[in-house]
A and B are shown apart, each in its own frame.
Chain A
Amino acid sequence: MTTMSSVVEMVVNARPVRAEVQPRTTLLDFLRDELGLTGTHAGCEQGACGACNVLLDGRVVRACLVLTVAASGSEVTTVEHLGTPDLLHPVQEALWRHHGLQCGYCTPGIVMTAVDLLSRISAPSDAQVREALSGNLCRCTGYAGMVAAIVEAGRTRDEQAGVE
C-alpha cells in the first residue's frame, strides 16, 4: 500500500486537468471520484464488461485497466462530452430510436465503443458491429436494438458524407 502522490496533467473532455493522484488510482476512479464524471460506470473493474469504456487519445480503452498516472499527457473523452439529453450525438440518437438500451448502465460504454468503431470503419456491417460490441456486456437488451442502431448510424453518416 502506498500513499505517495504523483501529479498528472491531461485533457479531459477538451478541458485541461491537473491533479495529484495515488499511483494505484485507476482512470475510472479518477474520472468518477475526482472529476465527478459519473457517466463512466464501474461494471466489473476486471476489464471484462466495458461499462467504463472511454476514449484515450481517440481510441477506446477500459478506464478500469488504465492507471491515471499512465494517462498523464493524454486526451480523454467520456460519454458526457458526446451529446446532451436535448441534443443527442447521432449514435445516441440511433440507440434511443432502436430501443438499444434498457437499464442504461452499460450504455455509456456501448456509446464509446460505437463512436470508436465508426471512427475506424465508416459504415460497418452487422457482423463488424457485433465484433466491436463483443467487448461490451449488456444484460438487459440482448443486443438486437443496439446492433441495428449502430449499423444505421454508420450508414446514415456515410450517406450524408456522400451528399456533401
Chain B
Amino acid sequence: MTALDEDRLAGAVGPRLGTRSGPRHLTGRGRYLGDHPVPDLCHVAIARSSTAHARIISIDTDEAAALPGVVAVVTGSDLEAMGARRFDHLLGPPFRPLTWPVLAIDRVRFVGEPFAAVVATSRAVAEDALEAITAEMEELPPVVGVDAALAPGAPLLYPEWGTNVFLSTENATPGLDQAMAGAPRRLTERFESHRVCGLPIEGHGAQATWDPGAGRLTVLASSQQPHQLRSVIAEICGLDETHVRVISPDIGGGFGNKQHFTREECLIGLLARLTNRPVRWSQDRTEALTASVHARAQIHDVEAGYDTNGRVLALKVRVLSDLGNPVLYFSGAGPAFVTVANLTGGYTIDHIGWSLTCVATTTCPIGAYRGFGQPEAHFTTERVMDLIASDLGLDPTEVRRINLLPDSPRPWRGHGGQRIDVGPLGSQLDLLLERFDYESWRREQAAARDEGRYIGVGVSTLVQGTTPTQNDTAGRFGSLEMAAVTVLPDGRVDVRVGTKSQGQSHDTTFAQVAAGALGIPPELVEVRDGDTDALAYGQGTWGSRSAVMGGGAIIKAAAAVRAKLARVASGLGHVLPSEGSVDLDVYHRVAEVAWWHAHLLPAGVEPGLTASAVYTPGFTGPSPAGGANHDETYGSHATAVAVEVDPATGTVRMLSAVLVSDCGVVINPTIVEGQHQGGFAQGLGIAFLEECKYNDDGQPLSATLLDYTIPTALDVATVQVVHRPTPSQTAGGFRGVGEASIIAAPAVLVSAVEDALRPLGVKLNSTRLHAASIRAAVRATGWKPDAAFWALRLRVPGEL
C-alpha cells in the first residue's frame, strides 16, 4: 500500500466505539415485542391451512368462541364486514392483477395460509381454541416448483389469470444474438439458487391497542420499516395515517424477513379495534418456517459466449422465479427484478439478454432475504467465470481480471443504466490475493492432491448495488430518508432517524455520524428510531441503505444545526468553525442561549437549535441512454476462501476466508466486520445446511429448527476483513455494506468446493453444498470411497 493509500485510509476509517445497546442486551434489559407489559393483554393465535391448495367451503367457529377465556374468533369475511380492506400489490401490467384479504376467504394456496384467528386471555387458551375451529375444505391439486407451475394443464392458483405466470418480461442489448453466435466458445448451463428463509431468532410479531376516544391505533411491530407499515395498516384498517402510530421496539434480527408488510400486522390492528382490548401475536417457530417469507428459489438457464482469453462477449440468462403464493407486497418478483438487473455484476460483458418468468406455486410466499436477488445473480456470474476458466485451463482469478470493469470511466454506466461508482477493482483483487496468500494456497492444494486430500480455493469479485431507490409505484418502498437533529439546552443531541436498527448498532454509528457533523464527541449524541410519533416519516432499514440514507439525512440536518450554532456563537463574540471539532465551552453556551436567552441572539436569528431534513443522494433515475439506475451507490467486495472437502462424507472444512471490503467511508470498523462475519455465516448456512423443502403434496418438510438447521459455532469460520475504502459521492462518502458477504458466500463456497473436487470431475450447479448434495455429486462421477479405509475408520473410532 502506498503512503497516499494509508492517508486516505486514516481519514476514511472511524473509531471502534463499543455499541451503545450492548450492556442493555447483555443484561436482559432489551425490550423486544413480547417484553412490554400491558394490562389486560389478550393473545392471538392464527388458524392456518394444513393443505397446500383448497377451496374453503365453510369455517365453523362457534365451539371455539364458546371456550372460557376466548374473547373473539374471526374469519376473513368477519373482518371485511367490519371494514377491513384488501391488500393490492399496486403494480400494473406486465404484472397480473392481484388482491388478497387479511385472512383467506375463498381459497387457501399454501400450507400455513391464515384463514381464522382467535383472541383469548392467554396464548394457551387461544391455541386451545384453534383446535376447536372446524374448517371444511375441498382439496385442490397442489403446484410445487417452477416446472409443475409451467407444465401444460397445470392446476391454476388464480384461474382468472389463465396461467400460473404472474409476470413475464425480457430485455436484451441490440446485437446479442449475433455476438453469441460469433463467440469463439460457448457454454450452456442451468444454475439453481435454492429456497431458504431469513429466519431471525426472534420471530415476527405485532401488538396493538385501540384508543376509541381518539380513534387512534397504536401498533408495536417487529418491523424493519415502521413508517411504511403505518401506510399499509392505515389502508387496510380504513384509517388515515395520522390515526395510526407504529412502534418498532428492539428487533431480534430482521434480514428482510421482517421487511414485508404482512397480513398478520394488519390483522392485529383490526382485532384491537374489534375487541377494544390490547392484543398481541408472537409468531412461533413453525409459523416462521412455513408461513412467513421464504427467499431465493430461482433457476437460471444460462448461455455464455466468450473468447479464448476468457473474455465474456455475450451472456443470456432465462430466470425462472418461484414466487410461492405471491400474496406479499413486491413478492418474489422484487428480488427477481434485482437479479436480472445485476447479471453483469462488476464485469464489462458486452452483450446481455435476459428473460424473467415469475410463477405462482402453492408454497409459502417468496420475498426478501438479505441480498434481495443479488446472491442469485452473483452465483450465476461467478459460476460462469469459473466454468470459463476451467474450460480454457486458465486461473479463475485471471478470467475475472480480464472481465472486471476498467478503472475508468467512473461512474461506469451498465447496460441497464446502472451508475457504478466503485473504486478500482483490479487493485482490489491484487490486495485480496496478497492478503489471502493465493499462491501459497495453490501450492498447498497441489501438495494435498499428491496425498489424496482435496483442498480447493474459491474467489469472488462482487460489485453490489446498495441503497436502492425506486421509482413510480414502488417509490413508496424506498426513495429517501428523514432525520431530525436537535441540540438540547444541556448540549445533548437528540437524533431521530427513519431507518430502524435490528442489530446493526445504528445507535452507535449514527451517534458517530452526527458527532462528526457537529464537531462534538459522540457521547453527547443519543439516537432514536422506530417510532412514527417521534419522526414524521422514514423508510426503514433494508437494502444496505441505512448508512447512506439515514446517515445522509443526519448529516444534512446536522449541517443546518451547525450553521445555526456558528451564527449564534458569532453573535456572542465567539467563533465555531464550520469543520472539525468545536470548542465545547462555546458549544454549551450557545446551546443554552439558543433555547433560553432569546434576547442575546443576533438580529434575525430565531431561537432554537433544531433541524429536520429529507435526503436522497439523487443518483438514480433514468440514465442518458434511457436505462434506469436503481442504486444510489455501489460497494465492491472481493472474497477468497480455502476449503478441504471429504468426498466420502461430503463434509467441508473451512481453512481460510479473507474479504477485502470497500464500503466507502467506514464509520466503525468493528461494526462493519460484524456485518461481514454475520452475513458470511448466513451465506455459509445457505450453502451447507439450510433448505425450505416441500414434498410433492406441498407439505413443508422443514417446519422446526431440527429440520431447518442453521449454522452453529461449530460450523462458522472467522472471516478476515481487510478495509480498503473508496469514499462515494453520497453525503458522508458511505456505501452500503450489510449484504455483501451473504451475496458472496454461496458463490465463493461453491467455487472452492468444486475446485477441491476438480480431480474427480465434480460439477456443482446449485447453491446446495449440503453434505448429501456433495456426496451425490461425487458419486455421480463414479468415484467411491475406499471401503477398506472406511472399514478401518469405523472399527477404530478416534484412532485415525
- Give me the interface of A with B, judged by CB distance under 8 Å: 1, 22, 24-25, 32, 36-46, 48-49, 51, 78-80, 82-86, 88, 92, 95-97, 99, 101-108, 111, 129-131, 133-147
If A38-B35, A143-B711 are given as contacts, then 10 extra A-B residue pairs at C-beta distance below 8 Å, sorted by A number, are A39-B29, A43-B201, A44-B285, A99-B670, A106-B201, A134-B712, A139-B255, A142-B680, A143-B713, A144-B718
Point out the residues of chain A lying under 8 angstroms from B718, CB to CB. 142, 144
Interface centre among A44, A129, A131, A145 (most CB of B within 10 A): A44
Report if A46-B250 is in contact (Cβ < 8 Å); known contacts: A104-B30, A137-B705: no
Report if A105-B681 is in contact (Cβ < 8 Å); known contacts: A82-B27, A134-B714, A137-B712: no
Report if A85-B285 is in contact (Cβ < 8 Å); known contacts: A49-B201, A133-B712: no
Query: A111 near B26 (CB under 8 angstroms)?
Result: yes
Query: B24 near A131 (CB under 8 angstroms)?
Result: no
Report if A46-B24 is in contact (Cβ < 8 Å); known contacts: A99-B674, A103-B253: no
Residue on A nearest B132 in the bound complex, by CB: A1
Interface centre among B24, B26, B251, B503 (most CB of A within 10 A): B26
Which listed residue (A38, A43, A140) contacts B503, Cβ 8 A?
A140
Point out the residues of chain A lying under 8 angstroms from B680, CB to CB. 142
Which listed residue (A40, A85, A86, A105) contacts B200, Cβ 8 A?
A105
Which listed residue (A40, A134, A140) contacts B253, Cβ 8 A?
A140
Which listed residue (B19, B27, B682, B713) contacts A88, Cβ 8 A?
B27
Which listed residue (A39, A99, A131) contacts B671, Cβ 8 A?
A99
Report if A104-B681 is in contact (Cβ < 8 Å); known contacts: A46-B706, A85-B24, A138-B201: no
Query: B19 near A137 (CB under 8 angstroms)?
Result: no
The CA-CA distance from A129 to B718 in the complex, in Å, is: 14
**A54 CB to closest chain B CB, in angstroms?**
10
The CA-CA distance from A108 to B201 in the complex, in Å, is: 13
**A11 CB to closest chain B CB, in angstroms?**
18
- Give me the interface of B with A, judged by CB distance under 8 Å: 18-19, 21-32, 34-35, 37, 124, 128, 199-202, 250-253, 255, 282, 284-285, 502-505, 670-671, 673-674, 677-682, 704-706, 710-714, 716, 718-719
Query: B29 near A85 (CB under 8 angstroms)?
Result: yes
Residue on A nearest B251 in the bound complex, by CB: A103
The CA-CA distance from A106 to B128 in the complex, in Å, is: 28
**B544 CB to closest chain A CB, in angstroms?**
15
The CA-CA distance from A43 to B285 in the complex, in Å, is: 7
What are 8 A-B contacts defined by CB distance under 8 Å?
A39-B27, A43-B202, A49-B201, A102-B674, A104-B24, A139-B682, A143-B711, A145-B677
**A133 CB to closest chain B CB, in angstroms?**
4
Residue on A nearest B131 in the bound complex, by CB: A1
**A87 CB to closest chain B CB, in angstroms?**
9
The CA-CA distance from A43 to B29 in the complex, in Å, is: 16
CB-based A-B contact count at 8 angstroms? 184
**B739 CB to closest chain A CB, in angstroms?**
14
**A18 CB to closest chain B CB, in angstroms?**
21
Query: A105 near B30 (CB under 8 angstroms)?
Result: yes
Query: A38 near B27 (CB under 8 angstroms)?
Result: no
The CA-CA distance from A80 to B502 in the complex, in Å, is: 22
Residue on A nearest B41 in the bound complex, by CB: A33
Point out the residues of chain A lying under 8 angstroms from B37, CB to CB. 36
Report if A143-B716 is in contact (Cβ < 8 Å); known contacts: A103-B252, A104-B250: yes
Q: Which 8 A-B pairs have the closest CB atoms?
A: A39-B28, A104-B25, A105-B252, A103-B503, A142-B681, A102-B503, A48-B705, A79-B28
**B786 CB to closest chain A CB, in angstroms?**
28
Query: B674 near A42 (CB under 8 angstroms)?
Result: no
Query: A142 near B719 (CB under 8 angstroms)?
Result: yes
The CA-CA distance from A87 to B34 in the complex, in Å, is: 26
Point out the residues of chain B lying under 8 angstroms from A102, CB to CB. 253, 503-505, 674, 678
Point out the residues of chain A lying under 8 angstroms from B128, CB to CB. 1
Point out the residues of chain A lying under 8 angstroms from B250, CB to CB. 103-104
Point out the residues of chain B lying under 8 angstroms from A41, CB to CB. 32, 201-202, 252
Point out the residues of chain B lying under 8 angstroms from A46, CB to CB. 285, 704-706
Point out the residues of chain A lying under 8 angstroms from B21, CB to CB. 104
Interface centre among A49, A108, A139, A143 (most CB of B within 10 A): A139
Query: A80 near B28 (CB under 8 angstroms)?
Result: yes
Query: A105 near B201 (CB under 8 angstroms)?
Result: yes
The CA-CA distance from A130 to B24 in the complex, in Å, is: 24
Which listed residue (B35, B282, B674, B704) contacts A145, Cβ 8 A?
B674
**B88 CB to closest chain A CB, in angstroms?**
32
Residue on A nearest B284 in the bound complex, by CB: A45
Point out the residues of chain A lying under 8 angstroms from B32, CB to CB. 38, 41, 105
Which listed residue (B23, B34, B678) contacts A85, Cβ 8 A?
B23
Residue on A nearest B683 in the bound complex, by CB: A142
Query: B674 near A48 (CB under 8 angstroms)?
Result: no
Point out the residues of chain A lying under 8 angstroms from B282, CB to CB. 42
The CA-CA distance from A123 to B628 in the complex, in Å, is: 57
Point out the residues of chain A lying under 8 angstroms from B23, CB to CB. 85-86, 88, 92, 96
The CA-CA distance from A45 to B670 in the complex, in Å, is: 32
Point out the residues of chain B lying under 8 angstroms from A146, CB to CB. 713
Query: B255 near A108 (CB under 8 angstroms)?
Result: no
Query: A101 near B719 (CB under 8 angstroms)?
Result: no
**A64 CB to closest chain B CB, in angstroms?**
10
Point out the residues of chain A lying under 8 angstroms from B673, CB to CB. 99
**A51 CB to closest chain B CB, in angstroms?**
6
Residue on A nearest B36 in the bound complex, by CB: A38
Query: A96 near B18 (CB under 8 angstroms)?
Result: yes
The CA-CA distance from A108 to B677 in the complex, in Å, is: 20
Point out the residues of chain B lying under 8 angstroms from A79, CB to CB. 26-28
Point out the residues of chain B lying under 8 angstroms from A131, CB to CB. 714
Interface centre among B34, B250, B704, B712 (most CB of A within 10 A): B712
Query: A130 near B713 (CB under 8 angstroms)?
Result: yes
Query: B505 near A84 (CB under 8 angstroms)?
Result: no
Query: A97 near B18 (CB under 8 angstroms)?
Result: yes
Interface centre among A82, A105, A130 (most CB of B within 10 A): A105
Query: A22 near B124 (CB under 8 angstroms)?
Result: yes
Query: A83 near B285 (CB under 8 angstroms)?
Result: no
Point out the residues of chain B lying under 8 angstroms from A86, CB to CB. 23
Interface centre among A39, A99, A141 (most CB of B within 10 A): A99
Residue on B nearest A145 in the bound complex, by CB: B674
